[in-house]
């Protein structure tokens, strides 16, 4: 058992160094890398993540950790290994990477006051109450009609319950006031998505992906298809095969705005197995989604850059949609390219990675030509609709049409006609 650990403090501590701590003997059998701990830092008590065990102690007296907060690593081993790779490749402190990956500011769930029915009146008692105190009787009947005999504060106001009437019910022993976690409004049930017949090219691409998924080995593919060729349908069908094989799916999009477009299609196909992770979520939402993914409640994650660090337990498929998009590059704080991190994550997890684009980046296309990625092509649209015509316009040279420097001659001719 190890007696020394290196710990990365989590925000709001503005430190990007690892600190060595002594592990008390009572905690040594419980502690592992990836777990969260409470430790003294300066004059305060802070939360940190165990980055690794330490072999040697630095000079000076070491302070002991105070407690271990998890029974299983909060950061799974493969994700911790990815954090180490990210730190080394992008020359960033490991503590900075962990601080960016692990959800912080974990507030206690919001709570709301509820009033709960604890005793029902007989018919005669209810009649007498209605004659003696009509407002109190209305409050009593509203509680009787509520699901489980319980009304939250918003529902109580909507039912017309007044505070004095509720207090009177509590005083009379008919109801009790309590606190419960504030429940979020449930999302709308997903609309069933019609299944589309695959074209021969789509079927060939899906078969190649399905074979790689079944082998459970690290393979990389470039899915190159014209706009509207059905790339999304191919990788969603591949996601179905991955889930059927008992493994998880990560779908990356370059921007948060594109997340919402994909989420509707994914939710229609996979329902509650979906989690959404991106920087636009609030601390509470991010924590809820992270925890749901970490404990296996969600097996499909859709998100932008930061979702590449989602704590999926058995990753089998990584899809980087619009892989050419420069928005995958994080340019403030911890700097990284989510596309490249996704490729490495798939390799560490022995998973399949699919880079999808109508206009692949030069480096991805060259890697496919050189055999480092398997090239899958979708040259046509599934429907008979042709691609829009393209006209190559020469912007240099004399023009008899007066135009703005930013307007092409063809556009100027059309606007003047």
- Read off the pLDDT of each residue in 334-347 and give the average, rounded to a whole number: 96
What sign has the CA pseudo-torsion 334, 335, 339, 341? negative
Note whether 237 and 367 are same-domain residues.
Answer: yes
For residue 51, pLDDT beyond 50:
yes
Answer yes or no: is 389 within a domain: no
* All residues at 6 or more sequence positions from 39 whose CB lies less than 8 Å from its CB, including other chains: 7, 9, 19, 21, 45, 46, 47, 48, 63, 65, 66
Rounded to whole angstroms, the Cα distance separating 123 from 325 reads 69
| Final residue in a domain of this structure, among 44, 66, 101 | 101
**In terms of domains, do 97 and 116 share one?**
no
User: Do 160 and 278 share a structural domain?
Assistant: no
Say whether both 133 and 94 belong to one domain. no
Looking at the fold, whether 144 and 46 belong to one and the same domain comes out as no
Query: Cα separations (Å) of 261 from 65, 253, 327, 330, 400?
Result: 45, 10, 17, 22, 44
The answer to whether position 127 is within a domain reads yes
Cβ–Cβ under 8 Å, residues 304 and 252? yes
Q: Say yes or no: 299 and 248 in one domain.
A: yes
Please, which pLDDT band fits residue 228 given cuts at 50, 70 and 90?
confident
Whether 209 and 357 map to the same domain: the answer is yes
The length of the chain is: 417
Query: Same domain, yes or no, for 368 and 260?
Result: yes
Q: Which domain holds residue 314?
A: 200-378
Q: Is the model's pTM score more than 0.95?
A: no
Pairing of strands 248-252, 315-321: parallel
β-bridge pairing 36-41 and 44-53: antiparallel
The CATH number covering residue 39 comes to 3.40.1440.60
- Tally of structural domains, the chain: 3
The predicted-structure confidence for 135-169, as pLDDT tens digits, reads as follows 888 888 888 888 777 887 777 777 777 788 888 88
Cα Rg, the chain, nearest whole Å: 29
Q: What is the pLDDT of residues 198-224, one digit of tens each?
A: 889 999 999 999 999 999 889 999 999
Do 124 and 95 fall within a single domain? no
**Which string of DSSP letters, residue by residue, matches 86-154?**
HHHHTT--HHHHHHHHS----PPPPEEEEEEE--PPPHHHHHHHHHH-HHHHHHHHHHHHSGGGEEEHH
| 60 or 237: which leads in pLDDT | 237
Range of lowest pLDDT (173-182, 240-249, 290-299, 356-365): 173-182
Domain boundary among 82, 101, 120: 101
In terms of domains, do 161 and 304 share one? no
Domain annotation covers residue 119: yes
DSSP letter string over 167-196? HHHHHTTSEEEEEEEPPPPPPPPPPPPPPP
């Amino acid at each position: 058992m190890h007696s020394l650990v290196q710990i990365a403090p989590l925000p709001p501590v503005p430190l990007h160094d690892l600190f060595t701590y002594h592990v008390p003997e009572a905690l040594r059998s419980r502690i592992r890398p990836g777990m969260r701990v409470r430790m003294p830092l300066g004059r305060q008590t802070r939360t940190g993540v165990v980055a690794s065990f330490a072999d040697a102690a630095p000079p000076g007296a070491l302070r002991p950790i105070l407690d271990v907060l998890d029974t299983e690593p909060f950061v799974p081993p493969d994700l911790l290994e990815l954090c180490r790779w990210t730190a080394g490749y992008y020359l960033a402190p490991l503590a900075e990477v962990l601080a960016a990956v692990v959800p912080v500011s974990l507030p206690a769930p919001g709570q709301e006051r509820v009033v709960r029915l604890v005793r029902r009146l007989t018919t005669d008692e209810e009649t007498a109450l209605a004659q003696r105190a009509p407002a109190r009787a209305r409050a009593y009947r509203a509680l009787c009609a509520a699901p489980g005999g319980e009304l939250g504060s918003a529902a109580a106001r909507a039912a017309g319950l007044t505070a004095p009437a509720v207090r009177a019910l509590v005083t009379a022993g008919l109801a009790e006031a309590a606190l419960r976690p504030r429940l979020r409004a449930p999302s709308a049930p997903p609309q069933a998505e019609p299944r589309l017949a695959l074209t021969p090219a789509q079927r060939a691409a899906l078969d190649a992906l399905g074979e790689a998924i079944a082998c459970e080995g690290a393979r990389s593919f470039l899915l190159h298809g014209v706009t509207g060729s059905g790339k999304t349908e191919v990788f969603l069908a591949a996601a179905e095969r991955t889930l059927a094989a008992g493994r998880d799916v990560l779908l990356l999009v370059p921007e948060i705005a594109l997340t919402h477009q994909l989420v509707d299609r994914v939710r229609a196909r996979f329902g509650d197995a979906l989690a959404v992770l991106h920087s636009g979520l609030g601390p509470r939402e991010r924590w809820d989604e992270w925890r749901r993914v970490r404990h296996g409640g969600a097996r499909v994650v859709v998100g932008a850059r930061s979702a590449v660090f989602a704590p999926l337990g058995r990753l089998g498929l990584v899809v980087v949609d619009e892989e050419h998009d420069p928005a995958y590059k994080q340019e403030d704080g911890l700097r990284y390219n989510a596309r490249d991190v996704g490729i490495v994550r798939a390799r560490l997890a022995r998973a399949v990675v699919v880079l999808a684009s109508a206009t692949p980046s030069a480096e991805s296309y060259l890697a496919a030509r050189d055999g480092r990625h398997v090239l899958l092509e979708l040259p046509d649209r599934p429907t008979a609709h042709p691609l829009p015509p393209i006209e190559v316009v020469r912007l240099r040279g004399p023009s008899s049409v007066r135009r703005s420097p930013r307007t092409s001659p063809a556009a100027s001719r059309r606007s003047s006609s």
